[in-house]
Amino acid sequence: MPPIIIDSSINREVLEEISLSDHRYIETTIASTVANQFHKRYKTRLGNHLRFVNILGKEIFHLERKIKAARNSGELNNATIELQTLIINARNRSFKIKKQLLITKPNWWTEQLEIHKKNVRALRRRAQRAPEIERQARYLVFKKEKAKYKRHIKQARNMDWRKFCSTASHPDGKQYKAAFRKSVFPSQIPYLMSGDPKGSLQEAAQNILDQICHSKKLQSNHLNTAT
């Protein structure tokens, strides 16, 4: 870790949060002079584009002359900053801002898991504060309950993922994107069967037709031999 980060660190604390391993989470608070920048998202489909152009057009000619008259990088930067500020103000006055909901907890997290987590925390505190004679026995109880808690979390994740996949209504929908992301395209799925995910869309379509027709031929041949 660089010395600058170490000098700017103001707090380092071991959390009581239960993890899925034998380690604990360490929260480090760092004092930094770098400010986070958030970009607003606007609802541009609702119209008000003409209003945006009118607000921007009142000052655009003045800024255009200012940019043309810039003699050095400093004047050009100031004109650019002024232009950006004008565009942001025009968007704020013309369009509505999209509300971005932050999901603090995963979808599979339930009230039972929260209760189970608190119970495991309580058992760990009891084991830490127990006398020397009872400490080992209490730690065994804590480890058994922690193993159940981990198993409970894995079951909740798997059940939620199974439920998420079972509600798929489109072959290229959000379920496919969650599973493959950008690693495999829908047109390359037939090639994965032969281990060669390459080729054009036309070749992929032809491969699908060949597989379907081949399976139908096998089925018809099987019926003919059976009769």
Q: What is the pLDDT of residues 76-100, one digit of tens each?
A: 888 888 888 888 888 888 888 887 7
Q: What is the pLDDT of residues 56-79, one digit of tens each?
A: 888 888 888 888 888 888 888 888
Does some domain include residue 81?
yes
pLDDT at residue 71, rounded to an integer: 87
pLDDT at residue 208, rounded to an integer: 61
Indicate whether 101 pLDDT > 80: no
pLDDT at residue 149, rounded to an integer: 93
> Where does the pLDDT of residue 116 fall: very low under 50, low under 70, confident under 90, or very high at 90 and above?
very high
Structure letter (DSSP) for residue 34:
P
Contact call for residues 173 and 191 (beta carbons, < 8 A):
no
Tell me the C-alpha distance between 35 and 111, whole Å. 36
Query: Based on the domain organization, do 81 and 124 belong to the same domain?
Result: no
Cβ-Cβ contacts under 8 Å for 184 (sequence gap 6 or more)? 192, 197
For residues 133 and 199, the model is more confident at: 133
pTM, two decimals, is: 0.43
Picking from 77, 98, 119, the residue at the C-terminal end of a domain is: 98
pLDDT at residue 142, rounded to an integer: 92
Give the pLDDT mean for 40-63. 83
3-state helix, strand, coil in the chain (%, to 5): 65, 5, 30
Q: What is the pLDDT of residues 146-185, one digit of tens each?
A: 999 999 999 998 888 888 878 877 766 777 676 666 555 5
Does some domain include residue 67?
yes
pLDDT at residue 216, rounded to an integer: 46
Picking from 98, 116, 144, the residue at the C-terminal end of a domain is: 98
Query: Based on the domain organization, do 93 and 138 belong to the same domain?
Result: no
Percent pLDDT > 90 in the chain is 15
Query: Based on the domain organization, do 88 and 62 belong to the same domain?
Result: yes
Does some domain include residue 64?
yes
Strand partners for 96: 43
Number of domain units in the chain: 2
Indicate whether 188 pLDDT > 80: no
Tell me the C-alpha distance between 217 and 42, whole Å. 55
Picking from 119, 139, 158, the residue at the C-terminal end of a domain is: 158
Does some domain include residue 77?
yes
Could you tell me the residue range of the domain that residue 63 belongs to? 43-98
Does some domain include residue 125?
yes
